[in-house]
Amino acid sequence: MKKRWVSALVLAAAFVWMGSMAAAAPKGQVTLGMGGAVTTFDPHVFSSLPISFHHPNVFDTLLRRTPDAKLESYLAKSYKLLNPRVWEFKLHEGIKFSNGEPLDAEAVKFSFERIADPRLKSRQIAYFKSITRVEATDRYTVRFHLKTPDFELPSFLGIYGFIVPPAYYKKHPPEYLARHPVGSGPYVVKKWRKGEEVVYEANPNYWRKGEPSIKTVTVKFIPEATTRVAALLSGDVDMIDSLAPGFVGRIKSSANLEVISGLAPRANYIVMLIKKGAPWSDPRVRMALNYAIDKEGIIKNVLGGFAKEIAVLQGPGSFGYNPGLKPFPYDPGKAKKLLAEAGVPNGFTTDLYIPHGRFLLGKEAVEAIAGQWSKIGVKVNIKAVEWGSMVKTIQGRWNENVKPFMYFLARMDTAFSAEGMYAGAIVGNSIYGGFRDAAVDKMILNARNILDEEQREKAFVEINRLLREEKVPLVFLYQNFEIFAKNKKVTWTPRLDAKLLAYEVGLKE
């Protein structure tokens, strides 16, 4: 009798579990309108903000950031430091890619070796430069062997290092893989029209049961802010990102729409290509350019108050943030004095590139900056171009025959790490940076290798001081609020990294 009762209990539990799974099956569809378009679905080649909105829908990482920015285990069920030069990760067992291939230690090993392959020319290698080899010690255990200690590695494994199926990725050339991705993530790409839209379909083999909640998510790429708002108001899309501040009132006046906003860890700045012949080679000129910008006025009059001035690239909450540093105040008189001391009292003329529709009111902010710089004799030729064209221009920046120029960028601190921001904007081999200083590069590398967390953070705090008060490699501007608008039927919790990920979107019953 007891045995029958236990069997009945187990069977009942099975029915409850099956019933809950059936209720949690993905259903419905939503349409999102985004300003930035995904340019490739090869998860190992590029690293950019629009791409980071899409790759996590298809691919998984060993670790990941929760909406409140906490680092948690993901494909890896646990990890630990075996010694200062070896990190070990234990994988969940039984996970499969959407094409049926097993996700195991060999897949992890292959994925990181692919990133490191010089033929791929991956821009993510900067985050994993400490890795010398990846070892699969058994089917579900992976070890990362390092040339130097790297205690920031887990932070980067939470945003990059997507795992792909070896057999499939060995079979096809990169050009094919860029359009036909296979991962283990919550969605598969059902259709992609480059520059127009991507349609995600729930992955039936996704290993985290009950996720995602939406069966089909269509993302329409709408670079113009006005057009995005019109699409939301008309019902063509259910949610949009990068809402321009000027439209907040209009959205709030609609009974079925709502606005969600919050300070994003996204630093907006201007890169000055510091090379031979640059009029800003002297740091006093770079300081002058910072002093000559009325950031408070731009935030109020251009950004509608949805931003906060920054002293360096980081903001509060990021590892290595230095609260003692203050933004450059607006002081055109001091700017003129610094220009005179540096030998350029009459200013200079330069080109400044800004991509269409990529950054919230970026063009309008640049126009305001150009007007303020003109007061100290600095004349700016604003070149508003498509992002792809701007990337090509940036890629050729170090050629000897290329004249020094400037470009407006925004970088998200998705790793919540000072070193993460440096990797893309400061270090000599940074992806889009224009500053090369061997001494600073060495300081950053040494800081990343410090075992004691308190001492490591102090080292990054000092580097930030050096960058703000002496080196001044960038024109530091502001962190903007990320503003979203959505239909009230859509459920979504905003993330501290300001990403809009399709698999986190839901619908009210």
Residue 21 lies in a domain: no
CA 79/CA 327 separation, integer angstroms: 39
Check whether residue 455 and residue 506 sit in a common domain: no
Is it the case that residue 250 has pLDDT exceeding 90? yes
pLDDT in tens, 52-78: 899 999 999 999 999 888 899 999 999
Q: What is the CATH number of the domain that holds 167?
A: 3.40.190.10
Check whether residue 58 and residue 191 sit in a common domain: yes
Residue 254 lies in a domain: no
Check whether residue 453 and residue 334 sit in a common domain: yes
Check whether residue 499 and residue 474 sit in a common domain: no
Pairing verdict, β 29-34 and 239-240: parallel
Q: What is the CATH number of the domain that holds 437?
A: 3.10.105.10
* DSSP collapsed to 3 states, 280-334: CCCHHHHHHHHHCCCHHHHHHHCCCCCEEECCCCCCCCCECCCCCCCCCCCCHHH
Check whether residue 494 and residue 461 sit in a common domain: no
Check whether residue 181 and residue 202 sit in a common domain: yes
261: nearest Cα among 307, 199, 301: 307
- The dihedrals phi and psi of 240, each to the nearest 5 degrees, come to -135, 155
Is it the case that residue 9 has pLDDT exceeding 50? no
Check whether residue 111 and residue 137 sit in a common domain: yes
Name the pTM for this structure: 0.77
365: nearest Cα among 408, 309, 330, 311: 408
Residue 31 lies in a domain: yes
CA–CA–CA angle 458, 460, 461 (5° rounding)? 60
CA 168/CA 449 separation, integer angstroms: 36
Residue 17 lies in a domain: no
Answer with the residue of higher pLDDT: 383 or 36: 383
Helix (H/G/I), strand (E/B), else coil: 444 = helix
Q: Which pair of structure tokens corresponds to residue 42?
A: 């090869």
- The residues that bridge with 131 in the sheet, in sequence order, are 146
Is it the case that residue 117 has pLDDT exceeding 60? yes
Residue 19 lies in a domain: no
Is it the case that residue 22 has pLDDT exceeding 70? no
Residue 119 lies in a domain: yes
Report residue 24's pLDDT band, with 50, 70 and 90 as the boundaries.
low
Q: Which of 117-126, 358-367, 417-426 has the lowest mean pLDDT?
A: 417-426
pLDDT in tens, 311-361: 998 877 777 888 899 999 999 999 999 999 999 999 999 999 999 878 878
Check whether residue 465 and residue 337 sit in a common domain: yes
Range of the domain at 201: 26-238+489-509
Cis peptide before 26 (omega within 30 of 0): no
What single letter denotes the amino acid at residue 8? Answer: A
Residue 368 lies in a domain: yes
Is it the case that residue 6 has pLDDT exceeding 70? no
Check whether residue 196 and residue 224 sit in a common domain: yes
- Give one word for 94, left, alpha or beta, with left for phi > 0 and alpha for psi -120 to 50: left
477: nearest Cα among 409, 425, 424: 409
pLDDT of residue 8: 31
Helix (H/G/I), strand (E/B), else coil: 393 = helix
Within 8 A by CB and 6+ apart from 205, the residues are 96, 97, 98, 100, 184
> Domain tally for the chain?
2
pLDDT of residue 164: 98
314: nearest Cα among 391, 426, 407: 426
Residue 190 lies in a domain: yes
Check whether residue 222 and residue 285 sit in a common domain: no
Check whether residue 106 and residue 176 sit in a common domain: yes
CA 282/CA 442 separation, integer angstroms: 21
Is it the case that residue 17 has pLDDT exceeding 80? no
H/E element, 487: strand 474-487
Contact criterion met (CB below 8 Å) for 248 and 361: no
Is it the case that residue 4 has pLDDT exceeding 50? no
Q: Go through 277-291 and write b for each residue having 16 or more CB atoms within 10 A of its CB, e for each that does not.
A: ebbbebbbbbbbbbb
Check whether residue 477 and residue 495 sit in a common domain: no
Q: Which of 111-125, 290-304, 409-423 has the lowest mean pLDDT?
A: 409-423
